[in-house]
Amino acid sequence: MEVVARLLALLVLLLVGAGLRTTGVLDRRRVAGLNTIAYYVALPALVFVSTYDQNVADLLSVALVGGLLFVLGTTAALAWVVHRNRGSNDRSSVAIVQSYHSNLGYLGLPLVAATFDARVTAIASVVLGVVTLTQLPMTIVVLSTLNGADAALVGEIRGIVKNPVLLALIVGLAVGSAGVSIPSTVASGFDAVAALALPIALLCVGASLQVEASTIDFGAVVSVIALKICCMPILAWLVFSALGVDPATFTAAVVMLGTPTAVSTYVFAAELGGDRKFASLNVFATTLASIVTLFVLITLVS
């Protein structure tokens, strides 16, 4: 029942965010402000408090990195096979990237932190780092190549290096591995800020969701949903079971890879010639459907 309550609360916050956008309370400027708070403050705080008392050697393993890269690469390859002839390139490219590009920061990590213990959350932070460093360049290359758009890949990679969430991960792991003690008052402050990550992120996601009836391509949308929140976590389950990783690593990897399509894919689609309306629809559809699939995943791994 606790898992159901958490996911229902997640759905309520998504709907509240969408409702506040519809009524004009969360206009573009305010959504941008919330995104700034989430991206530069709350999420880095969550990553830091999850890792500052952990040794990187206990979290990062060859099996974890190899398994993540295999699942990501295999899902992307399947998406290419399924979507490569999806009508126009602008729609095909969006369908491909949205079939593997996971919402790890705004949904995955905060949900894991609210549901599982500290070790699972710490490993989920590492999953966020490894997958983000892989899926972002992949998405930029796929969209720019298929749509013939000019993508300043070097500039985008520099942006990844400056990502505050990834920087918080590096600092947290460095502090934990060095055995540096954090004063309890400082730790409590970070904990308080980290607690804001999930509600703020969900409001931002909800306020960013837009659906237009004219964009609905049921076959394409169902294919994206099937690949992203069904095939990808099932593949993760099989791969990490075969690798024999510990339960915390297994839980973190499967749940994180079972998250819906990231809202950022809509931004990349808009910048790199993708079908923006189709991208927005897929974000909405995978997020809504993931309420059910994440409940199943969390119940099974628990």
- Report how many domains make up the chain: 1
Q: Does residue 154 register a pLDDT over 60?
A: no
The torsion angles phi and psi of 261, rounded to 5 degrees, stand at: -65, 140
Mean pLDDT of 169-176: 84
CATH number at residue 106: 1.20.1530.20
Buried b (16+ CB within 10 A) or exposed e, 163-200: bebbebbeebbebbbeeeebeeeeeeebeebbbbbbbb
The pLDDT-based confidence of 120 (bands split at 50, 70, 90) is very high
Cα–Cα distance for residue pair 130/82, rounded to 1 Å: 25
Q: Give the range of the structural domain holding residue 71, as residue numbers without chain letter.
A: 2-301
Amino acid code (one letter) for 90: D
Q: Express each pLDDT in 64-115 by its tens digit.
A: 999 999 999 999 999 999 998 877 888 899 999 999 999 998 888 888 988 8
Model confidence, pTM:
0.84
DSSP alpha helix (H) spans, 23-163: 28-37, 43-51, 56-59, 62-83, 89-98, 109-115, 118-147, 153-161
pLDDT of 52 higher than 80: yes
